Chain A
C-alpha cells in the first residue's frame, strides 16, 4: 500500500522540477540566515561568558550554525537534482545517491526542531548557570589585585549599567558580600573594626551597593550607602523608595534578554524548518515520479509519485531486515574466521 500517491503527468513533473529549483534557492538563503542567526546568538552568549558558569546553552547556537551550513549544501544538491530531472538521460546517476541523501536531510532538518525545543528546555540550566556565575562575580568584585579575577569588578559594573540591574536577585545580594577590598579599609578606625568583628567570617559587610546600581532616572542624587538607615538621609524612606537603585536582579535581566533573543529567532527557524521539509517532500515525489520514467522510450508518460513504496510499518520492517542482514554479514564473517574447528568437531561424533 503506497503512502500518499499522486499522479504526475509530464507537464506537472516539469513544473514541479522548476518550482522546486526556485524554492531550493530560497531555502539556501534561509539556511544562510539560520547560520548567521546562530553566529549572532553565539557571539551574544560569548560576550557575557564571564558571568556564566556552564556552557550548556551554547548547544543551541551550535546546532543552528551546523544546520544552517548543512542546509545550504543540501539545497544546492536539491537544486542540481531538479535541474537533472528535466533531462531523463542525466537523472539515473542520482539513483543510488538519493535514498541516503533523504535520510540525512530529514535528520538534519529535524535538528532545527530539536534546537527550538532545547532553547526552551535549557532555560532553567541557563538561569542556574547565571546564578552561579553572578554569585562568583559579586564575590570576587573586590579582588581587583588577584590575577584571573581582576576583571570582575569592571565586568559586573558594566553589566549592571548596561542591563539596568543590581545584584543577583536584587540589590540586597550586595549586603551579604564584602565588596570593598581590605586594601582600602582603614583597620585603625573603630567603625571598620566593629563591622569586621560583627560577623563570624571577619568580613566587612555594610548596607551599601556599588555605584553601578544607581538609577539615572532617580530625581535625587544616588544614595549608595546606609541604604537601610532612614535617618542617615534627609527625606528618605527605603521601604517606599523605588527609583534610587535598579530594582531588577541581573540574573532576571540576562535571562529575559536571552529568552527574548531566542524568541525572535524562533519563528525564523520554524519557517526554515517548514521550507526545508516542503522541499524534501517535493523532492521525494519528484524522485519517485522520475523513477517511473527511467528506461521508458516515451518520456512524456504519466507516472506516479509517492513518499513510501510500502506502508510505514512495512518500510520500517524492511529497513530492520536490511540492517540485520548487514550486521549479520559482518558477524558471520567474524564467526567463520574465529571458529573454523567447531563445525568439523560437531560432525565428527555423528560420523563416528
Chain B
C-alpha cells in the first residue's frame, strides 16, 4: 500500500518537472540567503567578541554558512535533473542517481532544520558567555596600559552608550570593582588611602560609575560620583532618581539584541526548510512517477507517483534487512546462511510419498 499516491498524466508530469525546475532555481537563491545570514551572524558575533567569553556560539553561523553553500550545490543539481525529466529519454541518464540524490537531500533538509533549531536554543550559552565576558571587561576597564586589554575601556564605554545600558546587571556592578587605574590615584591623599584600606584586597572602590552610564534623557546634568549619597548633591534622591543613569544592565541589553537577531534568522531558516522540504517532495513524486512510466513501457501513459512504495513499517523493515545484509558481506557463507552451492545433506524429493527407493540388489 503506497504512501500518498497521486495519479500523474503526461501533461501533469511535464508541468511538475517545469515547476520543480523553477523552484530549484529559487532554492539556489534561498541557499545564497542562508549563506549570507550565516555571514551576517558571524560578523555580529565577532563585533562583540571582546565582550563574550569563549563559547560554542560560533558553531551556529558556521553551520548556516555550510548549509547555505551545500543548498546551492544540491539545488543546482536538482534543477538540472528536473530540467531533464521532461523528456523520458533524458530521465534514463539520471535514473540511478535520483534515489541517492533524494536521500541525500532529505538528510540535508534535516540539517537545515537542526540549524534553525540551534538558532533558537542558543539562549543558555549566550547568557553565560555574556555574563563572563562582561564581568571580565569591566574588571579590565582600568587596564588601559596593559597590552591586550588597553582597548577594553573604549569597548565598554561605546557599548554602554550604544545599547543604553550600565554595568552587568545594573549600575551597582561598578561599585564592586576598581575602575579607576592606580596611575590616576594620588596615593598621598588621605581619602584615597582610606578607601584602599577599607577593603581586604586593597581596591579603590567607590559609589561612582563611568561617564558612559549617563542617560541623555535626564533633565539634570549627569551625576556620576557619590551616587548613593543624597547629601552630596542638591535636590537629589537616588531612591527615586530614574533618569540619571541607564537603568538596564548590559547583559540583558546584549542578550535581547542577539535574541532578536537569532529569532529572525531562525524564522527565516525555518521558512527556507519548509520550502526545501516541499521541493524535495515534488522531486520524489516526479521520480516515482517517471520510474512507473518506464516500468509500464509507454511514455505517454498515466502513472502513479508516491512517497513510499509500501507503508512506512514495511519500508523500514526492508531497509533494515538490507542494512543487516550489507554488514554481513565479508562473513564466510555456510549452509545455514542459504548459499545453495555449498555441501549440505541432500534432501532430494522422491515423489509424492517422499520414500527413498530401496537400494538395488547388486549382482554378485
Contact = CB atoms under 8 A, between A and B. Distances in A.
A154 B220 CA distance: 11
Interface stretch (B90-98, B150-158, B300-308, B332-340): B150-158
Interface string B212-248: 1010110111101000000001111000000000000
Contacts of B157: 216
Interface in A133-173: 144-145, 150, 153-154, 157-158, 161
Contacts of A219: 144-145, 150, 153, 181
A95 to B, nearest CB: 48
A220 B181 CA distance: 7
Interface stretch (A207-215, A253-261, A276-284, A337-345): A207-215
Given A219-B150, A220-B184, A214 B211 contact: yes
Interface in A159-197: 161, 179-181, 183-186, 189
Interface of B: 144-145, 150, 153-154, 157-158, 161, 179-181, 183-186, 210-212, 214, 216-217, 219-222, 224, 233-236
Top 8 nearest A-B pairs by Cβ distance?
Answer: A216-B157, A186-B234, A219-B144, A234-B186, A144-B219, A157-B216, A222-B211, A211-B222
A217 B157 CA distance: 9
Interface string A208-238: 0011101011111110100000000111000
A167 to B, nearest CB: 15
A109 B229 CA distance: 67
B234 A161 contact: no
Nearest to A184: B220
18 contacts: A145-B219, A158-B216, A184-B221, A184-B233, A184-B236, A185-B234, A186-B234, A186-B235, A214-B211, A216-B153, A219-B145, A219-B153, A220-B144, A220-B180, A220-B183, A221-B211, A222-B211, A235-B184
A181 B150 contact: no
Contacts of B233: 184
Interface of A: 144-145, 150, 153-154, 157-158, 161, 179-181, 183-186, 189, 210-212, 214, 216-222, 224, 233-235
A181 B218 CA distance: 12
Contact of B235 (A184, A217, A233): A184
Nearest to B145: A219
Given A179-B221, A184-B235, A221 B185 contact: no
A97 B179 CA distance: 77
Nearest to B209: A221
Contacts of A185: 234
B210 A222 contact: yes
Most buried by A among B186, B212, B214: B214
B58 to A, nearest CB: 27
Contact of A216 (B145, B212, B224): B212
Contacts of A180: 220-221
Contacts of A233: 184
A153 B216 CA distance: 8
B226 to A, nearest CB: 13
B154 A181 contact: no
Contacts of A214: 211-212
B179 A221 contact: yes
Nearest to A144: B219
Most buried by B among A157, A184, A189, A216: A216
Nearest to B184: A220
A50 B58 CA distance: 43
B219 A211 contact: no
Nearest to A145: B219
Given A179-B221, A210-B222, A216 B154 contact: yes
Contacts of B217: 154
B145 to A, nearest CB: 7
A219 B149 CA distance: 11
